[in-house]
Chains A and B, each alone.
Chain A
Amino acid sequence: MRIRIIKPGLLSTIQDMGRSAYLSQAVPVSGAMDSLSARIANCAIGNADDAAVIEFTYAGAELVTETDLLIAYAGDGAILSLAVGDIPCERPVFIPAGSTIKLVNNPSGSRTYLAIAGGFDVPEILGSRSTYTRAVIGGYNGRQLQAGDVLNSIDQLSSTAKNILKMLHGDYPDYPNWSLARQLLLPTDKKAIRVVRAHEFSWFDKASTDAFLSTPYTLSLRSDRMGYLLEGTAINREVNTELLSTAVTPGTIQVTGSGSMVLLMADCQTTGGYPRIAQVALVDMPLCGQLKPGDAIYFYAIIRQEAEMLYIEQEKKLLKLANTVNSKFL
């Protein structure tokens, strides 16, 4: 299966579940900002969770199918659309060769994930196909997609994908009447982000930590795949000990010298020297991956045991979902 990029949109990169084996050499994790959407798209067509997908930022991209395709997409940055109408999300979709797919506006979020049966075929670099543009590694030649780029899928299809293709084929787009309902795996309030208090939480004064957990913070324009600068009530320190640089991870919220907060995201550095106020619960990172500058969010504190429980429950649900899809197409 093969597609060609006609318009790349604002920022389109190949991503998977990230690169974790080289953190000690300061290679960032990278990977899909909204890993849940990427996994749902893969799951719908019988791909492994970590098959490479395209992460689109907002609408505007356009591509043409050079062969018949089996795809699925998920996310809140755009709706995929054909000349004959919108493509439904979160389910397998057959699209015949020669079709033009446009990403049209869907203002609720920022990122959309396109999965292709077998996964996009780019070389695995340091154990991952994710693009990390700063070091020019992974993805398509280490860079964001450009007009004219041709992307192939890996020929090896799962038995689920093969069986879906037996059902969906022909000269017209085709899809089943079911979908994976990603929304059921997400909280209803998309702007309430659960956090666990971080190791240096007590370094900040009470007025600041109260404000952190009760007032809104807005994503500034200085927000990208590395991190989000948050605007809102300043966070002041009570303890002025210097923090020796130590490991940080996506979801870590650092407080800079000027009292503003930075929420670290997929391409963040592996170590940092700013004190940390909180760590976003892993299950809420996909919500953060959909935020855009100007969005206001609130932080709610939970205890680490709850964060872990939520994570394990979510993973079990995703496993069950994958088993359900696979058993439909045995």
Chain B
Amino acid sequence: MQTRSHPRPDFSIYYLSEQAVTIGFGQEIAPYLLNAVGGFNNLLHQQPFPGFCTTVPAYATLTVFFDPLIVVQSAIPGADCFEKVSAYLNSLNQRGKLNEVIPGDTVSIPVCYGGALGPDIEEVAGINKLTISDVICLHSSVTYTVYMIGFVPGFAYLGGLDGRLATPRKAVPRQAVPAGAVGIAGQQTGVYPLKTPGGWQIIGQTPLKLFDAMRSQPSLLKAGDKVVFSPIDLQQFNELSSR
């Protein structure tokens, strides 16, 4: 493996609420920051502090939620909860190994492109002067990276869309986009986990459930995972949907 040097991630902590602080690692969307956020998130889950509740990883931040009533009683040095949690996180950061690589899962998402399930694929092809099969090929030949989960339950912010597929949002958003719809908006691509209104260009649909409250991990994807879209036909879509 090459050992390309990256800028050392920041580690600056700011107040979000009485129950949360946010650690800023940098100001860009980049794999080394994904690793810094994910690596520290793992470390914190392995070595939590008294009163630790949960975290929310994002592009370049990790937000740490806690119970102030427990933190304030703890022996961690500091005059208040913000100081105590900050002191703990700073010392954990100094003790811990930086940029520990997190092995995410690789998830294959079958997609039925075009037709009734991908009503905007011709528009995407037209705007980008491509054929429909070019669009399918370009969209399904890349390995995407999940940078964060946000917006609605199970929605993954994916990095890696081929620039030739970048397409502006629809001028008039749809009242309802079905769950599983695969779309493009600007430089982003993603899958709608729930039926919601939306303005993305819909190029296909997956029969997989991106979010299911009955699963032990309700969100199919998590930050750090890799995603591959694999084309299926309508018959396969219907078979997989009925399972």
Contacts and interface: CB of A to CB of B under 8 A. Distances in A.
Interface of A: 20-28, 125-126, 134-135, 137, 196, 199, 241, 244-247, 249, 251-252, 269-272, 279, 281-282, 304-305, 307-309, 311-312, 315
A246 B27 contact: no
B137 interface: no
Contact of B16 (A26, A279, A312): A279
B68 A245 contact: no
B81 A26 contact: no
A198 to B, nearest CB: 8
- Chain A to chain B: the 8 pairs with minimum beta-carbon distance, closest first: A271-B150, A247-B63, A25-B219, A247-B56, A244-B59, A246-B61, A246-B58, A137-B213
Main secondary structure of the interface of A (DSSP, over half): mixed
Contact of B151 (A135, A137, A271): A271
B54 A24 contact: yes
A252 to B, nearest CB: 8
B196 to A, nearest CB: 7
A247 B55 CA distance: 9
A77 to B, nearest CB: 26
A32 to B, nearest CB: 16
Interface in B1-35: 14-20, 22, 27-29
Interface string B185-203: 0000000001010000000
B39 interface: no
Given A252-B17, A282-B19, A304-B15, 15 more contacts: A23-B54, A23-B56, A24-B223, A25-B219, A126-B213, A134-B194, A135-B153, A137-B213, A245-B157, A247-B61, A269-B151, A279-B17, A282-B17, A308-B68, A308-B81
Nearest to B157: A245
A272 B149 CA distance: 11
